[in-house]
């Protein structure tokens, strides 16, 4: 969490209301050095569940997730973001998935909670389309706001790569590395998380510009990790993306979402080439190699 006390409170409320035995799960809240640490928010839930607050120096979401994983005591890790509210049966569904496949990383389903916000709908639609497109192919991944993995295997794999502080691509890189180490990824569609990412035009552009910047580092990390080069997807991928909302529900609203998806790709490309033209950070490369060795 970072500078979002109201969203954090909603997330913790949903975690406190899970239909799962209280003595079977632990909540670790990692604050990424907010100006005011959310101690007061977390304190309100300590009598309802086992919850711990950890404050780390500002290092981005990948570092925060690793910090939380290091403090966790359970056999399995389930990651969720502060602007998400898991369904009541979220952990139970994940537990069922692990009972069937204990050594697998499971990705749940993420649903946009802001039905009236076209920007939020477009962003979630993009993630849904990309995840479905890569399922069963090289590059298959799940987003880290609903991702679960065996604790021991997650740590042995090196966790999320925290050398890049951008909130983008760390989940894709982790999943590719996880698969490259011989571990499996499996979908757990019954484990649902509702995502309430409030966006307007400026924030929408900024988000996808950042995704483009993250894509640049993702490509570098995959190459340096010995997983080959990330190929550019064919034009049919982008055409399918833009037409995806209309194929599901034709109408003016879907048309607006389609146009926003086209805009997202322009922002993404802008962010990617922004990193291309920046001077290369030579000191970054040894860290990448060391982390992925």
CA 73 to chain centre: 22
SS3 state at 79: strand
Q: What is the mean pLDDT of residues 76-84?
A: 97
> Which of 2-16, 57-71, 167-181, 198-212 has the lowest average pLDDT?
167-181
Query: Residues 229-250: pLDDT tens digits?
Result: 667 788 999 999 999 999 988 8
**pLDDT value for 229:** 64
Q: Which residues contact 263 (CB under 8 A, 6 or more apart)?
A: 204, 205, 208
Whether residue 204 has pLDDT greater than 80: yes
**pLDDT value for 6:** 97
When comparing pLDDT for 218 and 114, which is higher?
114
Q: Which residues pair with 147 in a beta bridge?
A: 79, 107
> Phi and psi (nearest 5°) for 113?
-90, -10
**pLDDT value for 220:** 84
Kindly indicate the confidence band of residue 279, based on its pLDDT and cuts at 50, 70 and 90.
low
Q: Which tokens hold the place of 53? A: 């607050």
Reference 173, options 193, 195, 157; nearest CA is: 157
**pLDDT value for 230:** 66
Reference 196, options 115, 129, 112; nearest CA is: 112
Tally: H helices and E strands in the chain:
11, 7
Whether residue 288 has pLDDT greater than 60: no
Query: Residues 25-43: pLDDT tens digits?
Result: 999 999 999 999 999 999 9
Q: Which tokens hold the place of 78? A: 């389930």
> Phi and psi (nearest 5°) for 172?
-65, -45
Q: What is the mean pLDDT of residues 59-69?
A: 95
CB 108 within 8 A of CB 192: yes
SS3 state at 53: strand
Q: Mean pLDDT, the chain, as a whole number?
A: 90
Reference 198, options 146, 121, 260; nearest CA is: 121
């Amino acid at each position: 969490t970072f500078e979002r006390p109201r969203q954090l409170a909603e997330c913790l409320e949903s975690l406190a209301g899970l239909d799962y035995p209280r003595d079977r799960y632990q909540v670790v809240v990692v604050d990424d050095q907010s100006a005011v640490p959310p101690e007061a928010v977390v304190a309100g839930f300590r009598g309802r569940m086992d919850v711990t607050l950890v404050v780390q120096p500002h290092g981005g979401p990948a570092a925060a997730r690793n910090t939380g994983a290091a403090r966790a005591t359970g056999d399995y890790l389930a990651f969720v973001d502060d602007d998400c509210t898991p369904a009541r049966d979220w952990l139970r569904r994940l537990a069922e998935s692990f009972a069937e496949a204990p050594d697998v990383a499971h990705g749940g389903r993420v649903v946009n909670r802001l039905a009236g916000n076209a920007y939020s709908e477009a962003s979630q639609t993009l993630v849904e389309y990309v995840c479905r497109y890569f399922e069963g192919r090289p590059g298959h991944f799940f987003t880290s706001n609903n991702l679960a993995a065996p604790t021991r295997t997650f740590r042995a794999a090196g966790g999320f790569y925290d050398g890049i502080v951008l909130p983008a691509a760390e989940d894709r890189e982790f999943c590719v590395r996880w698969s490259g180490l011989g571990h499996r990824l499996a979908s757990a569609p019954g484990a649902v998380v509702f995502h309430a990412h409030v966006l307007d035009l400026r924030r929408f552009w900024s988000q996808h510009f950042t995704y483009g910047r993250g894509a640049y580092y993702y490509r570098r990390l995959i190459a340096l990790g010995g997983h080959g080069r990330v190929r550019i997807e064919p034009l049919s991928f982008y055409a399918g993306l833009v037409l995806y909302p209309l194929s599901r529900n034709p109408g003016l609203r879907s048309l607006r979402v389609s146009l926003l998806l086209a805009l997202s790709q322009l922002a993404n490309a802008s962010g990617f080439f922004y990193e291309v033209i920046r001077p290369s950070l030579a000191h970054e490369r040894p860290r990448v190699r060391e982390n992925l060795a």
